[in-house]
Amino acid sequence: MALPMPYYGSTMPFDADTEYKVVQREQVANPAPLGLFAFGLTTALLQGANTAITDPETTEFWVFAYAFAYGGLAQLLAGMWEYKRQNTFGATAFSSFGAFWIGFAIHGTLVANGLYVASAGAAQITLSLWGIFTFILMVATLELNFALFSLFITLSTLFFLLVAGLTTPNPWTKIAGWWGLMVAAIAWYIAAADVINEQYKRTVLPVGRWSVGTPLAKGLKAALSKVPLLGKACVAGMDREDALSGYTKKAEDLERPGTPHDYRATRLHNNHSLYQGAWDGEAVRYEQEARGLGSAVGPY
């Protein structure tokens, strides 16, 4: 369907179907399964040693090698590709945990070769900070799906269990090990869901898509509005930032009932995406939303 659309003061034909195909070609494949499989496998290898399923003395270099190459480098690459997909959450999570595993591999190799003396206090602080960081990411999963929420809440807990294990190895180290195996299993399930659902073009493995974050945020805002002075000032600041960032307008567009296919395509064309590489992927997002599909890690 060709539509005459204004472009820099002129009129030119615009075909919605062509625009969609161009956007699709610009997108990279979903890197989330790679990042999740890499994270899950490396976590399972490490926690297998903590549970005494494997002998720590004979498997530590095996763990370090995979922590660097698969859990580290492969996951870091997945994070970089998430930047390409304009997925801030996925890019932040995969890049950060990829760097975590690379750092872990380097640190472990230095300690194992007697080149560095490990500090329990430094390890506790580091793991605690990673636990807090993971909890922050968990808040974002409230707007994604239950499976991803489960992964990040259990992972955040794992970091604090490991901190306890450094203080009291028995029984916390073994508890952390078994808990970590559960974390790895959840990561692999989400990765499998992304791969299998995409191939079958239907939900074979559900991830429990939800959107509880928005109601919670609205509830928090409503509660703040009842607090005199400071609370109302916070709400006013939130409204102002929403307006400046365009979040308010975007929410109105997405919540508009019966938004036609051509409306999204026209809005995409008006953003000149066809002539700037179509990096925003709005058309792809729309098609994925319409079919109820998309990456478990987001955004589509």
**Does a structural domain hold residue 47?**
yes
Reference 93, options 126, 124, 138; nearest CA is 138
State whether 250 and 124 are in the same domain.
Answer: no
Q: Is the residue at 53 inside a domain?
A: yes
> Does 30 have pLDDT greater than 70?
yes
Give the model's pLDDT for residue 11. 46
Residue finishing a domain among 136, 167, 200: 200
- Do 89 and 189 share a domain, yes or no? yes
Residue 209 has pLDDT above 70, yes or no: yes
Q: Give residue 18's pLDDT.
A: 53
**57 and 81 co-located in one domain:** yes
Query: How far apart are the C-alpha atoms of 213 and 217, rounded to whole Å?
Result: 6
Q: Is the pLDDT assigned to residue 10 strictly greater than 60?
A: no
Query: Does some domain include residue 300?
Result: no
> Are 141 and 281 members of one domain?
no
Q: Is residue 110 part of a domain?
A: yes
Residue 178 and residue 46 share a domain: yes
Which comes out higher in pLDDT, residue 170 or 253?
170
At 37 the pLDDT is 97
DSSP letters, 78-139, are HHHHHHHTT-HHHHHHHHHHHHHHHHHHHHHHHHHTTSS---HHHHHHHHHHHHHHHHHHHH
Give 261-299 pLDDT, tens digit per residue.
433 433 443 443 333 333 344 444 555 555 555 777 776
* Same domain for 234 and 176: no
The pTM assigned to this predicted structure is: 0.77
139: in domain: yes
Q: Which pLDDT band holds residue 4 (cuts at 50, 70, 90)?
A: very low
Number of domains in the chain: 2
Per the listing, tokens 């180290």 go with 173
Residue 89 falls within a domain, yes or no? yes
Distance CA 180, CA 51 (A): 9
Identify the pLDDT of residue 96: 98
Q: b vs e for 76-104, b when ≥16 Cβ sit within 10 Å of the residue's Cβ?
A: bbbbebbbebbbebbbbbbbbbbebbbeb
In three-state form (DSSP H/G/I as H, E/B as E, the rest C), the secondary structure along 193-239 is HHHHHHHHCCCCCCCCECCCHHHHHHHHHHHHHCCCCHHHHHHHHHH
CATH code of the domain in which 170 resides: 1.25.40
Confidence of residue 228 (pLDDT cuts 50, 70, 90): confident
Average pLDDT over residues 178-184: 96
Q: Specify whether 174 is located in the same domain as 279.
A: no
Question: Which has more confidence, 19 or 146?
Answer: 146
* H/E element, 18: helix 16-26
Q: Are residues 175 and 229 in the same domain?
A: no
Pair of tokens at residue 287: 């098609």
Residues 163 and 279 in one domain: no
Phi, psi of 164 (to 5 degrees): -65, -35
Together in a domain, 187 and 225: no
Per residue in 98-124, pLDDT (tens digit) is: 999 999 999 999 988 888 888 889 999
Say yes or no: 17 and 36 in one domain. no
In a domain, 165, yes or no: yes
* 20 domain residue, yes or no: yes
The percentage of residues in the chain with a pLDDT greater than 90, rounded to a whole number, is 47
Least confident of 142-156, 172-186, 217-231: 217-231
Task: Give the position of tokens 């990456």.
Answer: 295
Residue closest to 250 by CA, chosen among 265, 235, 267? 267
pLDDT for 240 equals 81
Last residue of a domain, one of 138, 169, 200: 200
Do the beta carbons of residue 47 and residue 180 sit within 8 Å?
A: yes
Same domain as 154, residue 132: yes
Res. 174: pLDDT tops 80: yes
Output DSSP code: residue 69: I
The CA-CA-CA angle for residues 196, 202, 206, to 5°, reads 70
Containing domain of residue 100, as a range? Answer: 32-200
Find the angle CA(127)-CA(76)-CA(132) to the nearest 5 degrees: 25
pLDDT at 244 over 80: no
Least confident of 33-42, 168-177, 230-239, 247-256: 247-256
